[in-house]
Structure 1
Amino acid sequence: MTSYSDIVALLSDPIVSTGILAVVGAVVTRVLLRNHPTRRQWTALRTEMARLSGAMILVGGAKFEGGSDCPKADSLDVG
């Protein structure tokens, strides 16, 4: 049987908690914006994606760093 501690461990996983936030956000967005034009729905989707990205960064599921690991374009050997 699944115990309470197993459920708590599953819900504390960053990927699972972000998925739950995504589903709740999608349902709320659908209910609140069902009579609005498509442009507002796209705006709401972008806002929800920004919130989810922030949540992932906050819980540590995604790393946010200022720089990239890509080499500079000058040092690439084309050829």
Structure 2
Amino acid sequence: MIVINMAMMQDKVIELLNSAEGELTYKFTEKKGIKLFFEVTSGDVDTAAVEAKKLIKAQSWGSALYFNVEAV
């Protein structure tokens, strides 16, 4: 499972990661305040955290966001 801590653009991040295709796939499970929880349905959790951050930063709106991604 990974946790993304972010206050803004949560809906876009959920949509982005749920639709991500490739070796790593994500499934949104829960939202608690500014924390978004995702199950990693395939692949390594630590790698999934790094890739999720890269996916978000690659978006036109993602480079301006303040957030962190944790593997739990």
State the TM-score, normalizing by the size of structure 1. Answer: 0.35
Provide TM-score, normalisation by structure 2. Answer: 0.37
Indicate the structure with greater helix content.
1
Which of the pair has more CA radius of gyration? 1
